[in-house]
Amino acid sequence: MHNMNQYCSEYPFFISAGLTTYYHPGINLKKIHHDSIKLYETLEAETGQAVGLHQPGSIRIASTPIRVDEMKYQMTRTHWHVTEQYLIGPEKIQELFPLLNMDKVLAGLYTPGDGHIDPYSLTMALAAGARMYGAQIYNNAPVTSLKPTSDGKWDVQTSHGTIRANRIVNTAGFWAREVGKMIGFEHPTIPVHHQYIVTATIPEVKALKKELAVIRDLEGSYYLRQERDGLLFGPYEKMEKMVLQDSWVRDGVPPGFGKELFESDLDRIMEHVEKAMEMVPVLKKADIINIVSGPITYTPDLLPMVGPHCGVRNYWTAIGFGYGIIHAGGIGKFLSEWITNGEPPYDLIECDPNRYGKWTDVPFICAKARESYGFNNVVGYPKEERFAGRPTCRTSGVYELLKDKGSMGFHAGWEQPHWFYKPGDDIGYKPSFQRTNWFGPVGRECKLVMEKVGVIDLTPFGKFIVKGKDSHKLLDRLFANTMPKVGMTNISHMLTPSGKVYAEVTITQLAPGRFLLVTGSGSELHDLRWIETEVAQGGYDVDITNVTEDIGVLGIAGPNSRKVLQKLTNEDMSEAGFKFLHCKSIQLAGKPVRAIRISYTGELGWELYTDQKDLAAVYLAMMEAGKDEGIDNFGTYAMASLRLEKGFRGWGAEMNCDTNPLEAGLDYFIKLNKPADFIGKAALQEIKAKGLNRKLSYIAVNTDDIDPEGNETVWYNDKVVGNTTSGAYSYSSQQSLAFAYLPLELSTLGQKVEVELLGKKYPANVIQEPLIHTEPTRTRLQKKAQSKA
């Protein structure tokens, strides 16, 4: 939408400090930052338009021991990326920023090539480059409506006429919400007031021989850079002091708003100004020549919304950029490649616009934006939880029963127990880079499932019913596995055209041509959009219903799970009567339940699907019936440990749009010989013919008070050779486990490598998987041994 591109490009004209950095705490967003800077470095030569790019580097300042740990944590997540990043000491920091008060400085995270750029000049250069390659930019052409056509295109109506577009990309900045409303969406974006201060010339700055590095004082919660012969610094005030422009959410952006600024409020940020003066003493005598206050757009989790939107054809978004300048170039490249090739160039599901839904109402948006802004520079721990705006309207039928019994996690709007409390436990959310208060209780829950019986709330799973004349044909096209027979279940994968793993889904054929599809909580609308796109493109006669919020799910697992269920139903739950990966409709404690014999713990277990209103009754009945069997609750942390012991891969970790299923060890689920031409089949056949370069390996890590969690660097002979994908402590074998991608030559059993955790390299070796056989495998091996005897 051309006028909105114009508005979005004007946005940095009046508020952006123009910071550019390779750093990002996430994984693939580092690639977005990298691609942006690499574009900006060549833009002047390509377009003839100066962009004012400065690259003095940047330093994130650590002034507490926990900040040093955070930087070590980030270093191990960066070594296996192309970006240069170094943990440096006070001496190097002072060399790069000689005006710093070093009294509290312990260390710094230094990123060469970082800096800042002139937002207006960059905007003009991007526009000039776009015109060079054939783009048309219409100024003063406000969009009045968006009308979809029957063939999936769009009529973009403006005051000057109508443009027929194959697709539209909403890049409208703080107008994004209004554009979304034109087609029925309430995008969860909200403007936040952000201020930065510009000083007059400072003699000590003017006397410098080279430009100061950009600094980010994490404890002071501000950034600071050189601006000509003065300084520019911008704070992020605490959540109770920051200001939302929530009237724009309710009433829309005022007509004609463009380059205006908000009224500045120095008192609101004075706490951070004082911290900046303490860290950079020359600020105490500096004159302020400008305080800039304007809107920046936030989403609830501070990450942008990038990609095609579920529920409507050919509508894409690139909105909600709290740090627009550094994302602009990389996001443009990412989206253009996705649009051109029909799949994302790499995994960026954390920015998927479909991670939000109707549950993201205005109170939630406001609460989370306030939290995200105020928490901008808080310590970024693994397994981080933030509690503002919770719970949402998405609560399972057992939430009220469980909410005070354990530590809850947030999954796509749902509350789901991570681990449960017992008397004497150190309770509550206490994040750490080492093992923390949940370590012991999770071990207790693993033992429960391995030796007795446990119950877990799995309601957040995404759940769809697919039915109709072409349902089997559709799913055969979408999935690389064959479709299960009626009354049976399997695990299947949707692949991209280039053979990457787009999704992992459990499929059950409930009746002829009627299928239940179950995916992870964070993949609900991500997967549904992919399915809907194939339906539209292929003209399939099917009906798809999203039943995620209607159906509750409980998992029951452990050697005593069969005994508990048998007490509550007349259905034969024996090994012969209810086999692995079979599904039956049963009555459980008088409630209709769809039972599937499967468990992501790898132990004997079932998933029980029932109406949300009946979930509490089913749960209470099981807990009562299982008293003699030692029944209790367990959470997702225990399930993660148990699945790793069994060698189960997880989508978003071992497999995603960065990996193909053959290197991920998913060969069993990929049926290259099935007649259907499933998406990605040809690409996989080519990959198989060429052979693999790397392989997912199962490794044991010799650690102390820390465990791998995924995305850590793997070393061999002082060289980076791979990365972990997930990790956990195995309570059964009392050792740390991880999956890691390694070169083929380093993936053989017994191969020794090192895994970096908090700046230390721990010895690891490739072991046979799984560490513990699943219950169905153990049962089969026992029967085989008995028959031989």
> What does the pLDDT look like over 477-512, one tens digit per residue?
999 999 999 999 999 999 999 999 999 999 999 999
Quick one: CA torsion of 320, 322, 326, 328, rounded to 10 degrees? 20
> What does the pLDDT look like over 635-648, one tens digit per residue?
999 999 999 999 99
This prediction's pTM: 0.95
Measured CA to CA, the distance from residue 789 to residue 787 in angstroms comes to: 5
Mean pLDDT, range 110-137, rounded to an integer: 96
Element (H, E) at 596: strand 591-596
Asked whether residue 91 falls in the same domain as residue 200, the answer is yes
Q: Is the pLDDT of residue 2 over 80?
A: no
Asked whether residue 36 falls in the same domain as residue 167, the answer is yes
Q: Would strands 414-420 and 406-411 be described as parallel, antiparallel, or unpaired?
A: antiparallel
Q: Is the pLDDT of residue 36 over 90?
A: yes
Asked whether residue 531 falls in the same domain as residue 654, the answer is no
Residues 616 and 589 sit within 8 Å (Cβ to Cβ): no
Q: Is the pLDDT of residue 14 over 70?
A: no
Confirm whether 727 is domain-assigned: yes
Measured CA to CA, the distance from residue 495 to residue 657 in angstroms comes to: 8
> What does the pLDDT look like over 152-199, one tens digit per residue?
999 999 988 999 999 999 999 989 999 999 999 999 999 999 999 999
Residue 243 CA: distances (Å) to CA of 194, 202, 237 = 8, 30, 9
Cis peptide bond N-terminal to 743, omega within 30? no
Measured CA to CA, the distance from residue 226 to residue 213 in angstroms comes to: 8
Residue at a domain's end among 298, 320, 343? 298
Measured CA to CA, the distance from residue 680 to residue 497 in angstroms comes to: 4
Q: Using 50, 70 and 90 to split pLDDT, how confident is the model at 229?
A: very high
Asked whether residue 536 falls in the same domain as residue 681, the answer is no
Residue at a domain's end among 518, 546, 574? 546
Q: Is the pLDDT of residue 10 over 50?
A: no
Q: Using 50, 70 and 90 to split pLDDT, how confident is the model at 12?
A: very low
SS3 419: strand
Q: Is the pLDDT of residue 11 over 60?
A: no
Asked whether residue 654 falls in the same domain as residue 537, the answer is no
Measured CA to CA, the distance from residue 336 to residue 345 in angstroms comes to: 10
DSSP 266: G
Looking at residue 510, which CATH number applies to its domain?
Answer: 3.30.70.1400
The domain of 477 spans 462-546
Confirm whether 586 is domain-assigned: no
Mean pLDDT, range 533-555, rounded to an integer: 98
Q: What percent of the chain has pLDDT over 90?
A: 93
> What does the pLDDT look like over 319-358, one tens digit per residue?
999 988 999 999 999 999 999 999 999 999 999 999 999 9
Looking at residue 739, which CATH number applies to its domain?
Answer: 2.40.30.110
Q: Using 50, 70 and 90 to split pLDDT, how confident is the model at 15?
A: low
Report pLDDT for 258: 75
Q: What percent of the chain has pLDDT over 70?
A: 98
> What does the pLDDT look like over 434-471, one tens digit per residue?
999 999 999 999 999 999 999 999 999 999 999 999 99
In the chain, how many domains are there? 3
Which residue, among 481, 484, 488, has the nearest Cα to 504 in the 3D structure? 481
The neighbour count for residue 21, using CB atoms within 10 Å, is: 24
Mean pLDDT, range 214-235, rounded to an integer: 97
b/e string for 749-766 if b means 16 or more Cβ within 10 A?
A: eebebbbbbbeeebebeb
Confirm whether 322 is domain-assigned: no
Asked whether residue 168 falls in the same domain as residue 286, the answer is yes
Asked whether residue 540 falls in the same domain as residue 664, the answer is no
Alpha helices (H) along 571-729: 612-625, 636-645, 681-690
DSSP string, 154-223: EEEEETTEEEEES-EEE--GGGHHHHHHTTT-----EEEEEEEEEE---HHHHT-SSPPPEEEETTTTEE
Element (H, E) at 328: helix 324-341
Q: Is the pLDDT of residue 516 over 60?
A: yes
Which residue, among 640, 643, 482, 462, has the nearest Cα to 553 in the 3D structure? 462
Report pLDDT for 335: 98
Asked whether residue 538 falls in the same domain as residue 662, the answer is no
Confirm whether 525 is domain-assigned: yes
Across the chain, how many H-helices and E-strands are there?
A: 20, 35
Cα 217 → chain centroid: 26
Measured CA to CA, the distance from residue 710 to residue 641 in angstroms comes to: 13
Q: Using 50, 70 and 90 to split pLDDT, how confident is the model at 677?
A: very high
Asked whether residue 61 falls in the same domain as residue 209, the answer is yes
CA atoms within 13 A on the CB side of 278: 15
